[in-house]
Structure 1
Amino acid sequence: MQISISLPPALAAIAAGRDHIQTSEFARATNRASQTLRKHYCLTGHCFGIRPVKFGNRLLWPVAEIAALLNGSAK
């Protein structure tokens, strides 16, 4: 069973069909500074309850979980 989450239009434009987005794009979608998201990740291992995937030196954030956050769904 697959649950469909509607993407907010601004997030859909940022993601452009990708499953994961970079920290700077996540920051733009949530109206936060990139460094704020990195700080929360370093201190707690997640940001807004979302855990990123490490890829080399980058953190990639799952678009589906960001969409749930922006739509007001609780984890």
Structure 2
Amino acid sequence: MRNLQTNVIPLSTGVRQFLTTDELAERLNVRRQTIHKRYSQTGAYFSVRPIKLPNRRLWWPLDAVEQLIRGAA
């Protein structure tokens, strides 16, 4: 697994406030199935709770993802 700290770009600099599950998986260098499995077991991915949209997709809040990446979760 690569070092995430060297590849961290502040996510909140843009207009968006949420990530899709695919984008979250890419940022954390894990498979999307890993995120879905943890979410189905606990309702969160390492304390990051998504917003569930009416179309059943998940939006993951950027500020919580930034904290997870920095290790401040």
Counterpart Cα distance in 2 of 1:72 and 1:37? 17
Which segments of structure 1 move beyond 4 Å, counting only runs of 4 or more? none
2:20 corresponds to which of 22, 26, 30: 22
Q: What is the TM-score normalised by the length of structure 2?
A: 0.79
Q: Provide the aligned length of Structure 1 versus Structure 2.
A: 65
Structure 1 SS opposite 2:24: helix
1:62 maps to 61
Q: What is the TM-score normalised by the length of structure 1?
A: 0.77
Matched, 1:45 2:38: no
- Structure 1 gap ranges (5+): 1-7
Query: What is the RMSD computed on CA atoms of the aligned residues?
Result: 1.9
Percent same amino acid among aligned pairs? 34
Partner amino acid, structure 2, of 1:40: R
Counterpart Cα distance in 1 of 2:35 and 2:14? 21
Counterpart Cα distance in 2 of 1:28 and 1:16? 17
Partner amino acid, structure 2, of 1:63: L
**Residue 72 of structure 1: CA displacement?**
1.4
- Structure 2 gap ranges (5+): 1-7
